[in-house]
Amino acid sequence: MTEPIIRIKHLSKVFGKQPQKVMPLVRQGIHKDTLLAEHEHALGLRDINLDILPGEIFVIMGLSGSGKSTLIRHFNRLIDPTEGEIWIKGTDITQLKNKALEQFRQQHLSMVFQRFALLPHRTVLDNIAYGLEIQKVDKPKRREKARYWLKQVGLEGYDAQYPNQLSGGQQQRVGLARALCTDADILLMDEAFSALDPLIRAEMQDQLKQLQSRLRKTIVFITHDLDEAVKLGDRIAILKDGILVQQGTPEHILHNPADEYVEAFVQNVRR
Ligand SMILES: Nc1ncnc2c1ncn2[C@@H]1O[C@H](COP(=O)(O)OP(=O)(O)OP(=O)(O)O)[C@@H](O)[C@H]1O
Ligand SMILES: [Mg+2]
């Protein structure tokens, strides 16, 4: 059996002044709304367990506020868990301290954001090469690599442009190239295509699939659109109010929605 590349065990996250104090309530299954109304803490995630396999596109879905970003941000520890373990490539990253964590991130994980998050005063090429610069790769080498990835995402010749001279779709291609340029084999994409208009978005989905068929990265992809999830995902996990309500292949979820919440997404796809 293939070992998972990401393994999440009993992960819970509570936001607020004293998360530990309310954890017993969370373990007992208190509803998110009650926790907020009566105990002034926000339930981000409760007891999440999942395995992500190397080379798959794993999609995380759910309505706004269901905990998608909170979950993916644990994978590179932009957020610290209240409880639980986060195993990436055999390392429990909750145990890593400053320098080691930084190095681990740089080596193994890269992130593509919804709002592109490009550096405005750097050229396209220097944006793409940014991760390598942090890794102290020398300039000719990183420019060569950046040019390669620029071409891979279909933007050859745009080296010297600045982000504000590009369309949204082009900026997101730069964001993708930047993430691919570091050679990290785990790609975290939080609603990376959600800000794009439908045609460009479909193009980006196709391009990602095409790249992925060659690169075989492990991609964690967040969306609130089941169409996109079905198109891209090898497997899909569905979050509701911080709880994992179902996971499985797109086919499985379309045919066996676990509850009304999942059913509502499925109805939208059938439409
Ligand atoms: N820093 C924070 N402080 C307090 N509460 C937070 C914080 N970050 C997230 N939350 C809460 O955790 C819950 C999950 O938020 P999260 O951003 O993960 O949702 P999401 O599924 O990504 O939503 P969206 O689709 O709108 O991006 C929400 O109820 C939110 O209010
Ligand atoms: Mg989010």
Task: Please give the domain boundaries of the chain with CATH numbers for all domains.
Answer: 6-267 (3.40.50.300)
Going by C-alpha positions, the residue among 8, 45, 40 that lies closest to residue 26 is 45
Residue 16 CB less than 6 A away from ligand 1: no
Q: Where are the beta strands (DSSP E) in the chain?
A: 6-15, 42-52, 57-61, 83-88, 91-92, 109-112, 186-190, 218-223, 235-240, 243-248
Going by C-alpha positions, the residue among 92, 104, 6, 107 that lies closest to residue 53 is 6
For residue 141, pLDDT beyond 90: yes
CA 101 from chain center: how many Å? 18
pLDDT digits (tens, 9 = 90+) for 211-241: 999 999 999 999 999 999 999 999 999 999 9
160 alpha carbon to ligand 2 midpoint, in Å? 32
- Starting from the CA of residue 45, give the closest ligand: 1
Residue 110 CB less than 6 A away from ligand 1: no
Compute the distance between CA of residue 163 and CA of residue 99 in angstroms, rounded to an integer. Answer: 31
Residue 257 CB less than 6 A away from ligand 1: no
pTM: 0.94
For residue 270, pLDDT beyond 80: no
Compute the distance between CA of residue 108 and CA of residue 88 in angstroms, rounded to an integer. Answer: 9
Element (H, E) at 250: helix 250-255
Give percent of the chain above pLDDT 90: 88
User: Using 50, 70 and 90 to split pLDDT, how confident is the model at 271?
Assistant: low
Ligand 2 is a single-atom ion; what residues have CB below 5 A from it? 68-69
Amino acid at 263: E
CB atoms within 10 A of CB 190: 20
